Every structure is written in structure tokens, then in C-alpha cells.
Structure 1
């Protein structure tokens, strides 16, 4: 045997001897006695488990119904028939330049009186000033100018009524406040 193998054998033997000495503990015999007395006692009775209930699967028949987690859909309304009140836009009329923009993008910046005829000056989003008179059209809702005053113009728009027809609605455009430049 080589020196290395002999050393390993000595170390292994020493460990085995140490472990065997540990097993000779006097408390170990007391533990063995206690276990024997416990084994000698009568054992208790474990109650039987109650019978397991029979599982009856339930089928969900409401899969095609409305989910309770979604809001109710409104009931469909009755078919509304369009009431012909004679109001409708003239779709054959040539569109005027100011009808290219909605009214919210146009502003009245002044008035002009020439030979007793009043005109309004309208500023477009393209920063151009257009001159309009009573009878001209502007805005995207077929608006027709009916009056031009010193500080506002009045018009009538033709808008859908939500029932397949049209209604007239009055609208006014006030003279815009002048913009202060500088400080």
C-alpha cells in the first residue's frame, strides 16, 4: 500500500470508531425503553372517513345570454319614419369658398358698408379674409347668412334631425375680439 492509501485507511477507521463511541450513549438506552413502552400501549381508533359525496356536473345553459358582467344593451327603438317638413339642403347649388370649413374655425373680424350694403369680413384658418353678404353660405352645415349687424351676423343652418330628415337651426357669429400684439 502506498502512503496515501494508508493515510486514508487510518482516517476512515478513526471516523468509524468515533461514530461507534457516540452510539454507546446512556441516554440512548433510555430512549429505547420509552419507545418500547409506547409500542406496548393499546393503539387508538381512527374514525372512518365520511363517504365522499357524489359529484353531479351542472351544464351552463346561459352561454348565449347576456353576461352579467356587461351593461345592458339598449332596447332597439322603433323604426322612426322621417317626417318631411320640406327642409332640406340644396345639394345642386355650387358650394361657396367659406363652406370648406366648419363654423368653429371661422371668425368675424369686421364689417364693411359700401353703397348702403353691409358686408362681414370673415377670417379663415388659412389666414385669408373673405367678404360675405346676406344670402351667402358658410360653414359645413349649409349655413345661409340672413342678417349682418354691427357686432354679429345671424345665419340659418340646415342640420340632420337624427330621424332621417333635416331641421333649420339659427346660429350667430359675434365679432372677434382684437388680438393684442406685443406687450
Structure 2
């Protein structure tokens, strides 16, 4: 065991003598002096940042976007007498997949028996008669006139009752 300790001690001494290289210490001293010269240099001050301009929200004086504009085909609301008679079980028609705001009246077709309205939605013209359904809120065509079409919607009020809304879609004037 003592031979092992002697060999270990000799190996440690040999490894420590390799650390005392004059070339390495000169490089270390020059590196430290260069770092100290940089430490003595002055640091540039931070740039002055101006405060951001204050934004004033001015839309509070504008009309509420959820209120109807008078005279623009806006609907009128009233409590419905329909009760639970909404046709929940009837099959939905194709035009009930569109919002009423997407429809434009582009004309009428009349025959001896009935008058049909021509409505455009997403670039496609559809032919409707009184009693046809359209819109997502159980909208039904109530009357067709040369200058407008009247639609009644039946919407739940969230408390078990129903509200009716009368809406007119005016004829779109060609420009």
C-alpha cells in the first residue's frame, strides 16, 4: 500500500509542475490588464425616451352599433303571441343558413297567381314567395311589394318566451 501512496504522490507532483508554465502566466497577466483598461473606460448614457402620446377614445359619442338606425330597414320588436308554436321540428330550408343582413332585394317576378321576390345572397339570386323561410332566426316572408319585402323573425327571449321582429329588405337601386 505504501508503494501505491508513493506513486500517487509522485504523480500529483508531476502534474502540479506542469501548471507553472511561464508562457501561460504572461498571457493571463496581459488578458487581465486589457480587461482593467476596458473597465476604466466611460459608459455612454442611455438615450432619453419620450413618453408615448395619450390616445383619447372618441367613439363614446357615436351611435350604439347594436341599436337599429331609424328608416334603414331596421326592425321593430314586440312580444310574440306564438308561444311554443315555433316550428322547431320542421326541416330547415337552405336560405336559413344565412344572416338576414346578407340578403339584397334585386327585383320581383309577378304572375297571375303570385308575386315572387328576387333576393341576392353571396352573389347568388334566389326566388322567394310569401311564406318561405330565410335567415337564422326563423325568418319568414310576410309580404312582397315592388319596392321592398317584409320579413318576420321569431326569436327566443331567453326566458321561455318569444319576440317577433319585423324587418324590411328594400329594393337595391342600380347605380
Counterpart-to-counterpart distance in 1, 2:124 and 2:86: 27
Counterpart-to-counterpart distance in 1, 2:112 and 2:162: 37
- Does the 8 Å CA contact 2:83/2:161 hold for their aligned counterparts? no
Q: 1:143 aligns with which of 139, 142, 145?
A: 139
Is 2:130 the partner of 1:134? yes
Q: Root-mean-square deviation (CA), in Å? A: 2.0
Gapped runs of 5+ residues in structure 1?
1-82
Q: 1:173 aligns with which of 159, 164, 169?
A: 169
Normalised to the residue count of structure 2, the TM-score between the two structures is 0.50
Matches within 5 A, 1:13-162: 86-125=83-122, 127-162=123-158
User: What displacement does 1:107 show?
Assistant: 1.0
| CA deviation profile, 1:76-97 (whole Å, cap 9, x unmatched) | xxxxxxx996155211111111
**How many pairs does the alignment contain?**
96
Which structure has more RCO (C-alpha within 8 Å, separation ≥ 6)? 2
Distance 1:114 1:84, change over 3 A: closer
Structure 2 counterpart SS, 1:98 = helix
Structure 2 counterpart SS, 1:86 = coil
User: What displacement does 1:115 show?
Assistant: 2.5
Which of the two has higher C-alpha Rg? 1
| CA deviation profile, 1:43-93 (whole Å, cap 9, x unmatched) | xxxxxxxxxxxxxxxxxxxxxxxxxxxxxxxxxxxxxxxx99615521111
Gapped runs of 5+ residues in structure 2?
1-79
Q: Where has structure 1 moved over 6 Å in runs of 4 or more?
A: none
Structure 2 counterpart SS, 1:177 = coil
Counterpart-to-counterpart distance in 1, 2:146 and 2:81: 36
